[in-house]
Structure 1
Amino acid sequence: MALTIEINHAKTRAKAAAASGQPVMPQAVNGRIRRIKWIVLLLTLSIYYVTPFLRWDRGPNAPDQAVLLDFAHGRLYAFFIEIWPQDLYLVTGLLVLASTSLILTNALAGRLWCGFACPQTVWTDLFLLVEGLIEGDRRQRSKNFGAPLDAERAMQIVAKHAAWILISLATGGTLIFYFTDAPELLRSFAHGDVSATHICGTRAMANITVSPGRSGPVEVLVQLEDGDEKPLVADALSVTLSNPDKGIASVSATAERMGADSWRVRLTAAASGKWSLSLGIDLAKDDRVDIAAPILIE
C-alpha cells in the first residue's frame, strides 16, 4: 500500500504572498553548494570580462588578440585556432557537440548547468548579491516593502539600480571587445567621444577612428586593408586633416606604425565641423595610393 503525503505549505505561502502583493524575495543561504556557486560565478565572469584583453602572438600581419571575431576580414580567432568562412562546418560541429554535451550533463547530473554556470544564473546571482549588499538581507528587504519612502530608502533604490545599470553596461560593452582590438577601443572610450569612418578605394581601404571626436588635439587610429578586405602592409602612411570651408590650413603628419596594418598619429582639429581626412599610403617605392573621406568633428 503506497502512502502519498503532499507537502503544500510552500504553495500556501506563495499564494498568500501573491494575494498580498508582496514580491518574492529569495533568502540568502550558506553552505558547501553555495560556496561552489560563488567560485563558479567568479570564474565565469572573469573569463568573460578578461578574455578580450588576452594576447596571442600569431606572427606578422595577424591580430594578436587571443579571442577575436574579426568579421571585417572573415576570420574567427581563438588562441591557436583560426577559422575561415569555408571552415564554418567546424563551428556547426562544435555547436552540435556542445548541445549534446549540455543535454547529457543535465540528464546525468540534473541542473548542473542551469544551476551553476548558465549565464542567466550567474548574472542573476550577481544582481542579487548587489541588492543584498545595498538593501540588506531578505528580512530587511521584506520590512522595507510597503514602508514609507524616506531619504535613506530612496538612496538605496538609486544606488541599487545605478549598480545594476553599470553591470549591464559593462556586460554589453565587453561583448563589443570581442569584435575589435579591445585595448585600442578601451583607450578610445577613455579619451572621450569617438568619431569613426571607413575609406574605400580600389586598391586600399581604411577603418579610421578619431578620439576624442571633438575639436582640439586628436588621436587618429588607422587600420589598412587591401581591395579584398585583407590586412594591408604599407611602408609608410601620412594623414591630413583639411577644412577649406572654414579657411583653416591643412594639418599633416606621418603616422607611427602600431602593427602590421595599424597606424597611429596625433593631429589638431582647430574647429568643429565636417573635415576631410586624407591618407597617403606608400605601398612601395614609387607606389603611392591616396584616399580620402569626410569625418565629423564636434
Structure 2
Amino acid sequence: MQQTKIKGASPDVIRADRSEQEIAAQSFNPQQSRQKQGPQQGRRSLLSHPLRLPLSVIGGVMNNHRQYIESHFPERVDELVSQLVPCVLGETEPVDESEIAVCRSKFCGAPDLPPDFAWPMTKDGPCWFLGQLNFRDLAQFQLPHNLPETGLLSFFYHDAGGYPDDGKESVVFYFDDLTGFQRAKIVRDTRWGDDFHERHLYPRQFSFCQGYSLPEALFLNDRELREIAHQFNCDHADGTHQFFGIPLFHWELLSSYQMLASFGECSDEIIFSLPEQDLLALDFKHIEVDYLCT
C-alpha cells in the first residue's frame, strides 16, 4: 500500500452512501470563545489558476448556467462559458457511524485507516479528523484536473488555539489501496472539553452535486462583469463544503495554488490547498491550510 503524507505549513444530488434522508447542515463552531478573524495574511493563496473548459465539454454544462450568462452578456456567452471552472459541492447530515460504509466519503466522526496507522500529533495535541474523500464518489462529476478514479484522501486539522498557527501541522493522507482498512478509534483533543467531539466532530454523511465557478479574478478591471461573476458563483458554487475548483470567497489571494477542499459548517471554513504541479503529480508534501472565522 502506498501512503502519501501531505504536510501543512501553517441538479441531481448524489449521496456518498446513497441514503434517502434529507440534507441537514449542522453547525460546526469548535471554539465559541475564539476571536473572529479574517484570512491569514502572509500565507499562500487559496485560489487556483482558472482552467478553461473546451467548448466540446460545455455541452455537459446544465442549461441554466449558460442561460444565466447569456441573459447578461449574450455577445460573449461562448467566451464566458468556456471560462467556467468545475468543482464538487457537498452538504452533510448527521448519522450514526454504522450508517456510513467503511471508506466512503464522510465529514468528521471516526476515520477509516489501515491497522498500523499512527494518529498525527502536534505540539498542541492530536489533530482533528475533519473528513475523508473517496474518489469513487466523485467519478461522475466534472473536475478541473485529471485525478485518480479510486483511493482515499483523509484530512487531519491542527488546531493551535488561534491565529497565526492554526493549521500549521495539519496533515492529509492519500491511500491508493484500501485493502484491510477499518474504522479507527478517535484520539481525542480534550482541550475544549471531554465532550468536544460529540458536540462538534460527530459523524456526518456527504451529499454531492456538480458546481461551476466563473473566476472573478479574470474581470478585475470590469466591475459590471465581476459583479455578474460573483452572483453567478453565489448561485452555482455556493456549497457548505467544496472540493477542488475556486472558493466562493477569498479568491483574491491569487497564486498557483489549487484548492483541495473547503470544509465549512456554520461560520467556520478550513481550506486545504497545494501547488498545481504537485496536485497533477499527486505529490502532496507542500500543503497550505487556512482557517477562516467570519
The alignment's TM-score, normalised by the length of structure 2, stands at 0.19
Q: Higher relative CO (CA 8 A, sep ≥ 6), structure 1 or 2?
A: 2
The alignment's TM-score, normalised by the length of structure 1, stands at 0.18
Higher helix share: 1
Higher radius of gyration, 1 or 2: 1
